[in-house]
Amino acid sequence: MKYAIQPDVVSAHNDKLASDLNRDFEVLGEQLSRKGVDINALTEKAQAFDIAVPSWGTGTGGTRFARFPGVGEPRNIFEKVEDCAVIHQLSGCASAISPHFPWDVVDDFSELKAHSDSYGLSWSSVNSNTFQDQPDQAQSYKYGSLTHTSAAVREQAIAHNTQVIEWGKKLGSDTLTVWVGDGSNHPGQQHFQRAFERYLDSAKAIYAALPGDWEMHLEHKMFEPAFYSTVIQDWGSNILAAMETGERCKSLVDLGHHAPNVNIEMIVSRLIQFKKLGGFHFNDSKYGDDDLDSGSIHPYQQFLIFNELVDAEHRKQPGFSPAYMLDQSHNVTDPIESLINSAIEVQRSYIKALLVDRTTLEGYQQDNDALMASNTLKGAFNVDVSPILAMARFRKNAAINPLATYRASQYREQAAVARPDTGGSRSGIV
């Protein structure tokens, strides 16, 4: 396997930190064993955890006001793969990439696949894009895509999705994620029911082109770019569409796509119950679709979501295998650092949720002991599982301290030289 950062840079850092880590791990192991928890079993779970990185997250994001690119940004999908390789090499928990078409321009898919294979990376969900017009396209998406009043526009959008499936097959993906911004900006602009009917017809046409072992994930979002109504605005419309479309059509939950204070963990529970939880776009938010780093604002919410996921895993809920992915926009940080941090923060929520004593919790629920039920969750959340996460990385030859190792490697400085035409005031990628 190729390494973007020399393995001896990683091991030199790890050597300095290993004895402290061993001591911290031992202390935590002793504390957990008093509660009947085997720290090595938890560490194995952490080692097995994996979350996909969005190809577009490797470049600096922007707002509709400005974008302030960093230096050495990836200029194409090959360079994005190189950055993803660093994220996985140091975090040990991000071995797949989720591409977005046509943002990722690919001339030769076998060359791209060989490139990602050489780093030991695979491809997760492929994302279509019918929320922007491309320079060469015949029909405009100004008034919608899969739900447009014009059949010609809908056909173009359906054809793009089937094309994305074909590209995904070449990369070894098995999931198509569809998010559309279709909706309206003025009351009366759109007939709600007819627009949803058109969406269902289009979704079924795409589903008909889906290989038998693939899933199609529908992503809801409350608003933006449509500011009055959005066709797939919430999990209600989402699950209805997924149920109508087919068994392998499921709902995808992007954490930033709900009204403030919505109980997302409960939505997750409902989707699990009806075998419609396809996967996640993890990120965090204060106001809306902020795309902030995972766990940076509401770590307890993220833990409570994982509490539902681990509960389903524990109950061996049939048909439960959600896909985990980050979907973030990094405006002021080095995207590689944010993505490493975020992957680990999601992994942290998973491990903390595994600490919940499910039998005890069930007892409190049965007895209506609200306070002790809540304390059972809080007790797990309050455990600092950092030594488990660090040990999981160490055992996988990833970095005990990924950010320090990354900075010491000078990867970004080298990228700035190797990718001279990005950074500063120049615009690097879309």
Kindly list the residues in this chain that would bind Mn ion in the complex (CB under 5 A): 254, 281, 289, 327
Task: State the residues that interact with ligand PSV by CB under 6 A.
Answer: 56, 127, 179, 219, 221, 254, 281, 289, 327
Least distance to ligand PSV, CB of residue 337, Å: 19
Would you put residue 427 in left (φ > 0), alpha (ψ -120 to 50) or beta?
beta
> Choosing among Mn ion, ligand PSV, none, which partner's interface includes residue 235 (Cβ < 5 to 8 Å by kind)?
none
C-alpha distances out from residue 30 to 36, 376, 386, 390, Å: 10, 20, 15, 17
Q: Considering beta carbons, is residue 342 or 409 the nearer one to ligand PSV?
A: 342
CA distance 296 to 270: 25
Q: Considering beta carbons, is residue 5 or 326 the nearer one to ligand PSV?
A: 326
Non-local CB neighbours of 136 within 8 Å, separated by 6+ positions: none
φ and ψ of 282, to 5 deg: -85, 140
CA distance 349 to 264: 15
Q: Considering beta carbons, is residue 176 or 354 the nearer one to ligand PSV?
A: 176
φ and ψ of 92, to 5 deg: 70, 10
Q: Considering beta carbons, is residue 29 or 59 the nearer one to Mn ion?
A: 59
> Choosing among Mn ion, ligand PSV, none, which partner's interface includes residue 127 (Cβ < 5 to 8 Å by kind)?
ligand PSV
Could you tell me how far CA 83 lies from the centroid of its own chain?
16
Least distance to Mn ion, CB of residue 164, Å: 15
Least distance to ligand PSV, CB of residue 399, Å: 28
The residue length of the chain stands at 430
Q: Considering beta carbons, is residue 104 or 327 the nearer one to ligand PSV?
A: 327
Q: Considering beta carbons, is residue 254 or 313 the nearer one to ligand PSV?
A: 254
Least distance to ligand PSV, CB of residue 342, Å: 15
CB closest to ligand PSV, residue no: 179
CA distance 250 to 389: 31
> Choosing among ligand PSV, Mn ion, none, which partner's interface includes residue 43 (Cβ < 5 to 8 Å by kind)?
none
Question: SS in 3 state form for 94-130?
Answer: CCEEECECCCCCCCCHHHHHHHHHHCCCEECCEECCC
CB neighbours (10 Å) of residue 196?
Answer: 19
Least distance to Mn ion, CB of residue 338, Å: 15
Least distance to ligand PSV, CB of residue 256, Å: 7
